[in-house]
Amino acid sequence: MAAAPLDRRDTALRSPLARRGLLFILSSPSGAGKTTISRMLLAADGEIKLSVSVTTRAPRPGEIEGVHYHFCSDAEFDRMVAEDDFYEWAHVFGHRYGTPKGRIRAGLKEGQDFLFDIDWQGTQQLYQKDQQDVVRVFILPPTIAELRRRLEERATDDGAVIDARMDRARAEISHWDAYDYVVINEDVDACFAKVRAILHAERLKRQRQTGLIPFVRTLMG
């Protein structure tokens, strides 16, 4: 027996609800895992994409222009600051990093989520400019000793640089209470599961589901 045809109300009820996108921030001290969790999230979730930062530092081996960062000169960065082309920017280990506004605002209206791998300074600047769209997640290491072990295991920095990173890590950890969520990264898979659950829950918040009003009207009609 053929199924009864759906009327327009049935079709509307089964359609995905329109929603506003969000700015999903992952911060952590260097070595605590934000970059690893970011990559896992991008690989697992097709509804979020990385906000590519502009930086004045040189590319590292394997980094691709426009994929990992937009690399530019100090003069070009100065021009962008003067023209208010950044959502936020900050000095990090002798270089500058910034988030270009670009198409982010238009993307949010279309339901696009953006992932930010930035420090607490950038988080504060972004939050001050766009509180309604920002979700702040801070990742902590299980211990300070484990954090240093992870930095040494990278074998990319000498002892002096690692010492500087550890000093900065303690300063960044002191700002943990400026975030909406705090997750301890003792096991990377468990940490990822918690971060992904946070993202799903934030997408379901009533104020972000812009399609709820027409949906409810259809229910009542």
Query: Which tokens belong to 173?
Result: 């950890």
**Which domains are present in the chain?**
20-212 (3.40.50.300)
Contact 121, 90 (CB under 8 A): yes
Segment 189-219, tens digit of pLDDT = 999 999 999 999 999 999 999 999 999 999 9
Q: How far is CA 4 from CA 8, 15, 20, in A?
A: 13, 18, 34
Which residues, including other chains, have CB under 8 Å from residue 44's CB and lie 6 or more apart?
Answer: 196
Name the percent of the chain lying above pLDDT 90. Answer: 59
Segment 84-121, tens digit of pLDDT = 888 888 888 899 998 888 778 888 999 999 999 888 88
3-state secondary structure of 181: strand
Segment 2-36, tens digit of pLDDT = 555 545 444 444 557 899 999 999 999 888 989 89
